[in-house]
Structure 1
Amino acid sequence: MKDHRILNGFAYFSVIFAPVIFPSIVWIVAKDPTVKANAKSALIFHLIPGITVLFTIVMMRISYLLDFSTGQMVAVSVLYLLSFVIIIHALFIGIKQLIAK
């Protein structure tokens, strides 16, 4: 199969349905260097929102023990905004991969 547009696109789209898992599998299994590169890039895009969710869970656990400060709320808000932008960008790249010639 010479045309890997669908696999490349779904590596980025998987941020919605299987973040980290699908691009990891594609990265490990794929033989084509272009598909491997796109899967690795998608994996990096998927890690940032995942780290944000973990950071938020840790911050919520800490807030039970300590007072949740304004600085912590701003940090969490900025991370969620960054995650949202990254998800939109990953979807945009996925669309570009699907319509590429």
Structure 2
Amino acid sequence: MNPNKLINAISYLSVLVAPVLIPLIIWILAKDADVTQNAKKAFWLQIPPFLFIAILLIFIGVIGLTTNDARVTGLTTLILFVVLGVISVGLYIYNIVLGIKSLMSN
């Protein structure tokens, strides 16, 4: 097996173990252009869920402070959580698919 294929797959499948960290390390340390490109792609695919959490927390805080209504804040939180959760799960699955494709490619 080509070691580059394995490293590319590890970049994507790291979403199961240490998202963001492993692709970043591989991106920094890799010498091969193909490995660097895949690690960079995996890194940027794994960043949005972390950003979504930060945005969600800030938005909930702002809504909570400005409305002083628990129902509005709760409903807004639920809607945002569902939308951002669906996007995050989609990216999670997409990373796994790309990792498997990396292993199965010629």
Which of the pair has more CA radius of gyration?
A: 2
Per-residue CA distance 1:20-75 (angstroms, 9 max, x = gap): 11100100100000000000000011001111222333345456644315344322
**TM-score normalised by length of structure 1:** 0.85
Residue 97 (structure 2) aligns with: 92
CA distance in structure 2 between the aligned counterparts of 1:78 and 1:24, rounded to whole angstroms = 27
CA distance in structure 2 between the aligned counterparts of 1:80 and 1:5, rounded to whole angstroms = 30
Gaps of 5+ in 2: none
RMSD over equivalenced CA pairs, Å: 2.2
Q: How many residue pairs align between the two structures?
A: 101
Question: Counterparts of 1:1-101 in structure 2 under 5 Å?
Answer: 3-62=3-62, 65=65, 66-67=68-69, 68=73, 70-101=75-106
- Percent of residue pairs identical: 30
CA distance in structure 2 between the aligned counterparts of 1:47 and 1:11, rounded to whole angstroms = 13
**TM-score normalised by length of structure 2:** 0.81
